[in-house]
C-alpha cells in the first residue's frame, strides 16, 4: 500500500467536494482522524476513497441515477434460513441425567 500524502489528499478531496456540493468542506484533523463538516471521523485512506467516489460522481452525473434505479429491481428477497436441528438438546440431556439420579448443576 502506498503512503498517502495528507496535503495532496486533502487538496484533492476539497476540490472534488466543492465540485460535487458547490461549497468547500470544513475538514477538522485530530490525531490522524479527519472529520468532514462535523461528520463521522475517518482515516486518510477513507478520505481518498471519498475523493474517488466524489470525482466519479461529479464527472458522470447522468449515469449514477440510472445505476441506482436499476439496483432495487435486481435485488431479490433472501430466502428464509432453514433451521438446522441436531439430535442433541441441553434440556433433553439434563432430563436424562436427572432421571438417572444426578442433580442439577449450580
CA dihedral (88, 93, 95, 96) positive or negative: positive
Q: Cell digits for 60?
A: 458522470
The model's pLDDT over 1-30, given as tens digits with 9 standing for 90+, comes to 567 788 898 899 889 888 888 888 888 888
Q: What is the mean pLDDT of the chain?
A: 76
Is a pLDDT exceeding 50 seen at residue 66? Answer: no
Q: Cell digits for 28?
A: 477538522
**Residues 48, 56: contact at Cβ < 8 Å?**
no
Q: Is the pTM of this model over 0.85?
A: no
Is a pLDDT exceeding 60 seen at residue 72? Answer: no
In the chain, where do the E strands start and end? 27-30, 33-36, 41-42
Amino acid at each position: 500500500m502506498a503512503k498517502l500524502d495528507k496535503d495532496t489528499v486533502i487538496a484533492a478531496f476539497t476540490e472534488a467536494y466543492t465540485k460535487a456540493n458547490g461549497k468547500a468542506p470544513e475538514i477538522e484533523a485530530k490525531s490522524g482522524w479527519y472529520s468532514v463538516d462535523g461528520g463521522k471521523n475517518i482515516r486518510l485512506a477513507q478520505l481518498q476513497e471519498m475523493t474517488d467516489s466524489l470525482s466519479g460522481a461529479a464527472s458522470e452525473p447522468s449515469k449514477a441515477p440510472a445505476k441506482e434505479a436499476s439496483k432495487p429491481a435486481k435485488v431479490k428477497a433472501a430466502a428464509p434460513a432453514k433451521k438446522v436441528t441436531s439430535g442433541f438438546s441441553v434440556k433433553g440431556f439434563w432430563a436424562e441425567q436427572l432421571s438417572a439420579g444426578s442433580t442439577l448443576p449450580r
